[in-house]
């Protein structure tokens, strides 16, 4: 039960004011954040003014902006009542999503990932929540479809959410292992011969996948599962000749897979498995003249039953806000260049 109340603006007031009253001052302090930084984030994003007076927050701005800020503050306060923290990312997500949404169905009617109206992916170390509508639709498709594509710019959570869902399904016993792969393609620079054994040589290419895993599983558990082959992290070339059954399989950086590699990988799908393909069409590092397997797969498989395509834009970037502006600047330059041709 929420213990916040909306107080209508006073009639005849010189400037429109919307007041919210909160019953628990301790939670209100957490809602405001240290030095009111949470309120400042909402003010900056929405263009609203928020003043704190005792156990009330007064909102100044247009009615639409006031309503959006009130919805966000109420939802964040409810989050605190449920014992969850409120951090900058949670505020950003609440403002992007614009309020609660309907619960999402799982793949087989057995997964208990979603509580109330919030989409949650539970892992050993943390609970992950989508922060944009595109991310929520993507998570839904990962549970619903046996093969899902996530296509969009860097920083939109394509791989992070896929690994989170894989870990969650593994913990729940719906798959027996997790297989993470990516093409070992250098990003525009020659690294030369790397020292060490095969693992030493390929690990630098796989590091982003290790980083994601370490966010969801304790380090010692991750190492043990890798040793037991319940988690595999390997270059795409190592997938040839295998049938991947009862596994959650992720191919990251798929824009750097050739057409032959993509076909090879897609046909590895075995019984009881789910496969996720992620990539960014604007970051192809293949040699000139070599077609991206992601582009071809997108063209050939669109509309095939059982396969979902999920697209992200700069608006879905959940890294530093500057990353979204950088992507938008590059997209605008590409569009201008295409129009000039």
The domain spans of the chain are 4-97, 121-340
For residues 51 and 6, which has the higher predicted lDDT (pLDDT)?
51
pLDDT per residue as tens digits for the range 47-102: 999 999 888 999 999 988 888 899 889 989 988 888 888 888 788 878 877 644 43
Q: What is the pTM of this model?
A: 0.72
CATH architecture of 4-97: 2-Layer Sandwich (3.30)
Give the C-alpha separation, 178 to 232, whole Å.
6
- H-state helical runs in 82-237: 88-97, 133-144, 158-171, 198-216, 219-227
The dotted CATH code for 121-340 is 3.40.50.300
pLDDT tens digits, 231-261: 998 888 888 888 899 999 999 999 999 999 9
**Torsions phi, psi for 209 (to 5 deg):** -75, -40
Instruction: Tell me how crowded residue 9 is: count the other CB atoms within 10 A of its CB.
Output: 16
178: β partners: 231, 248
């Amino acid at each position: 039960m929420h213990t916040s109340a909306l107080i209508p603006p006073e009639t005849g007031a010189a400037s429109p004011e919307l007041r919210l009253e909160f019953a628990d001052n301790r939670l209100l302090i957490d809602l405001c954040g240290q030095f009111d930084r949470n309120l400042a984030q909402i003010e900056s994003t929405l263009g609203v003014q928020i003043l704190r007076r005792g156990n009330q927050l007064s909102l100044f701005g247009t009615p639409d902006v006031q309503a959006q800020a009130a919805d966000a503050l109420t939802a964040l306060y409810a989050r605190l009542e449920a014992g969850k923290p409120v951090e900058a990312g949670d505020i950003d997500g609440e403002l992007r999503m614009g309020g609660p949404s309907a619960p999402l169905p799982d793949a087989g009617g057995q997964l208990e990932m979603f509580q109330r109206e919030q989409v949650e992916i539970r892992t050993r170390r943390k609970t992950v929540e989508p922060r944009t509508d595109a991310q929520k639709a993507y998570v839904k498709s990962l549970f619903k479809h046996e093969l899902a594509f996530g296509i969009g710019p860097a920083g939109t959570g394509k791989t992070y959410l896929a690994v989170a869902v894989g870990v969650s399904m593994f913990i729940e016993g719906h798959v027996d292992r997790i297989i993470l792969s990516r093409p070992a393609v250098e990003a525009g620079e020659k690294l030369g011969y790397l020292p060490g054994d095969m693992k030493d040589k390929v690990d630098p290419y796989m590091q982003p996948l290790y980083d994601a895993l370490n966010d969801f599983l304790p380090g010692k558990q991750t190492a043990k599962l890798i040793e037991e082959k319940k988690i595999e992290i390997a270059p795409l070339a190592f997938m040839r000749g295998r049938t991947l059954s009862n596994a959650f399989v992720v191919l990251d950086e798929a824009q750097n897979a050739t057409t032959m590699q993509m076909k090879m990988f897609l046909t590895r799908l075995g019984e009881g498995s789910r496969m996720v393909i992620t990539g960014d069409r604007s970051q192809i590092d293949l040699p000139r003249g070599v077609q991206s397997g992601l582009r071809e797969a997108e063209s050939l498989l669109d509309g095939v039953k059982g396969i979902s395509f999920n697209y992200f834009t700069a608006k879905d970037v959940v890294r530093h806000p500057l990353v979204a502006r950088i992507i938008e600047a590059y997209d605008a330059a590409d569009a201008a260049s295409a129009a000039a041709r």
